[in-house]
């Protein structure tokens, strides 16, 4: 029940470095269950979402430890014990559903708690059911759990019901140990999916179509490797700091931004008259992800005439769309943001009106934002969703006066040691305990 106390309205400056991707991290933890050998995931983020999955792994008998360099070392036992699964931790993360893919190769019938995570309306898991049933998996919903039965697994050609990140990953993990060729069409090509494909190659699998919407994987029943993998940097965290710079009109340097997953976001910001300069281009430690260092400059923002909306990659990232809300409060003119994916998320955007933002809710998916607005301090309780909680914090950094943001667990789910990192940029932010 930690509280952020933020004295806003200050210009920020300095350097911040982007951490390993939250969404890649949780997917890779699940993927490690495919490997009978030792998996080392390098420089992993110490965030609450990762902590919950570690608690689940420990509860079923997996050896998990941190190194001094934030490397996560995972070694599965010969036999997992799902009867002792930490249900409380599992219910706090939507990523628990990705356990289905690897576990079907270890158990003919098993139960896992139902997916939790962000409260963003009706986030159906039916696409997972439809995809996995093509591989011979049957999933039933029983009370607060899923019953999974996998007695006759088979390779297949699969058309995904929706191009979702987690359903693509779950299907890849399920197909990884089914002998033969499985083709996944209308797959997500997003960064975390690419990370999983690269990890699967590391543990000896042949994967084609990485970064496209048709992925082919050739499964093998036994995987026993000692593997070290560097996950990619987080484009959503990079967008968080871009939004902070734009909303507070600050000049900061942001290092290790995965540019291939930010190009459209940066183009939209350019057209809003946001000023920045790319300082350096280079590769991530995985030798695949393209990174940049950039420096933001003070800007007089202008609203776009066109609506801002998200699409599956290579469109504007669905998780990055909310960050345009606080940015739009400081842009001259009216901005229309269309959040078509989630039923509830646009409603959370109205929380910024408590800070003085001029936001009109057109319907559960669309908001009009009029700017620029001088934001003012307020006391707000974090909604139970990561990105909506983060944009309230951004607005508080720009709002004159002292604000209180209560119950910041939602933010800690996805961002590591954020208050300290913001302090290094000159933000006046303190953590209070209730």
Domain limit, last residue, from 229, 250, 268: 229
Cβ-contact 334, 376 below 8 angstroms: no
Within this chain, do residues 285 and 391 fall inside the same structural domain, yes or no?
A: yes
CA 267 vs CA 232, 275, 291, 307: distances in Å = 22, 11, 17, 14
**Long-range contacts at 93-97 (CB < 8 A, ≥ 24 apart):** 93/26, 93/49, 93/52, 93/53, 93/117, 94/118, 94/123, 94/166, 95/26, 95/27, 95/29, 95/30, 95/49, 95/53, 95/166, 96/53, 96/56, 97/125, 97/128, 97/146, 97/166, 97/170
Shared domain for 280 and 209, answered yes or no, is: no
Of all residues in the chain, the percent with pLDDT exceeding 70 is: 97
Q: Are 309 and 210 contained in the same domain? A: no
**Final residue of a structural domain among 168, 196, 229:** 229
Q: Are residues 223 and 240 in the same domain?
A: no
Output the pLDDT for position 115: 67
Residues 123, 241: one domain? no
Q: Examine the domain organization and report whether 383 and 333 are in the same domain.
A: yes
Q: How many residues does the chain have?
A: 434
Residue 247: predicted pLDDT: 98
Do residues 192 and 248 both lie within one domain?
A: no
Structural domain range at position 309: 3-19+233-432
Same domain assignment for residues 258 and 222: no
Q: What pLDDT is recorded for position 119? A: 42
Structure tokens at 205: 């699998």
Residues 286 and 320 in one domain: yes
Domain containing residue 173: CATH number:
3.65.10.10
**Three-state DSSP class for 178?**
coil
| pLDDT score, position 11 | 96
- Average pLDDT across each block of 10 residues of the chain; the chain has 434 residues. List them in order: 93 97 96 97 94 95 95 94 92 89 95 64 74 94 88 94 94 97 97 98 97 97 96 97 98 98 98 98 96 98 97 94 98 97 89 97 96 97 92 98 95 92 97 82
Phi-psi region of 136 (alpha: psi -120 to 50; beta: other; left: phi over 0): left
**Predicted TM-score (pTM) of this structure:** 0.94
Residue 239 vs residues 44, 163, 362, 394: alpha-carbon distances, Å: 19, 22, 25, 11
pLDDT of residue 419: 94
Q: How many domains does the chain have?
A: 2
- Among 170, 205, 229, identify where a domain stops: 229
Asked if 23 and 236 count as a contact pair (C-beta separation under 8 A), the reply is: yes
Looking at the fold, whether 14 and 74 belong to one and the same domain comes out as: no
Residues 267, 31: Cα–Cα separation, whole Å: 34
Tell me how far apart the alpha carbons of residues 368 and 389 are, in angstroms, rounded to a whole number. Answer: 19
152 and 42 both lie in a single domain? yes
**Per-residue model confidence as pLDDT tens digits over 382-418:** 998 899 999 999 999 999 999 999 999 989 988 999 9
- One domain, residues 41 and 91: yes
- Three-state secondary structure string covering 212-277: CCEEEEEECCCCCCCEEECCCECHHHHHHHHHHHHHHCCEEEEEEEEHHHCHHHHHHHHHCCCEEE
Angle 263-271/235-248 helices, nearest 10 degrees? 10
């Amino acid at each position: 029940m930690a509280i952020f106390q933020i004295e806003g309205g200050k210009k920020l400056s300095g350097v911040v470095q982007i951490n390993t991707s939250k969404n890649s991290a949780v997917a890779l933890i699940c993927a490690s269950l495919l490997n009978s050998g030792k998996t080392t995931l390098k420089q992993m983020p110490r965030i609450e979402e990762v902590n919950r999955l570690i608690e689940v792994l420990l509860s079923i008998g997996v050896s998990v430890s941190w190194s001094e360099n934030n490397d996560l070392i995972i070694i599965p036992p010969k036999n997992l014990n799902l009867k002792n699964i930490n249900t409380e931790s599992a219910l706090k993360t939507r990523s628990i559903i990705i356990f289905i893919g690897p576990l079907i190769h270890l158990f003919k019938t098993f139960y896992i708690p139902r997916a939790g995570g962000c409260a963003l309306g009706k986030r159906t898991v039916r696409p997972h059911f439809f995809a996995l049933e093509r591989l011979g998996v049957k999933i039933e919903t029983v009370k607060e759990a899923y019953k999974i039965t996998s007695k006759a697994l088979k390779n297949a050609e699969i058309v995904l019901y929706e191009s979702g990140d987690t359903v693509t990953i779950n299907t890849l993990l399920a197909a990884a140990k089914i002998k033969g060729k499985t083709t996944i069409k209308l797959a997500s090509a997003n960064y975390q999916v690419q990370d999983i494909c690269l990890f699967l190659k590391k543990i000896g699998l042949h994967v084609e179509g990485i970064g496209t919407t048709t992925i082919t994987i050739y499964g093998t029943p036994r995987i026993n490797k000692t593997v070290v993998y560097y996950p990619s940097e987080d484009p959503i965290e990079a967008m968080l700091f871009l939004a902070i710079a734009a909303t507070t009109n600050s000049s900061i340097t942001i290092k290790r931004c995965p540019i291939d997953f930010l190009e459209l976001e940066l183009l939209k910001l350019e057209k809003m008259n946001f000023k920045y300069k790319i300082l350096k281009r280079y590769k991530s430690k995985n030798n695949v992800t393209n990174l940049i260092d950039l420096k933001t400059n003070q800007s007089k923002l202008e609203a776009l005439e066109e609506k801002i909306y998200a699409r599956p990659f290579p469109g504007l990232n669905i998780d990055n769309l909310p960050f345009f809300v606080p940015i739009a409060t400081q842009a001259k003119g009216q901005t229309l943001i269309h959040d078509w994916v989630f039923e509830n998320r646009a409603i959370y955007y109205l929380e910024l009106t408590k800070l003085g933002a001029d936001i009109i809710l057109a319907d559960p998916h669309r908001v009009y934002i009029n700017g620029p607005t001088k934001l003012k301090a307020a006391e707000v309780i974090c909604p139970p969703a990561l990105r909506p909680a983060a944009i309230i914090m951004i607005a508080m950094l720009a709002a004159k006066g002292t604000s209180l943001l209560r119950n910041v667990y939602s933010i800690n789910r996805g961002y590591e040691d954020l208050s300290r990192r913001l302090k290094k940029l000159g933000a006046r932010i303190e953590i209070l305990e209730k």
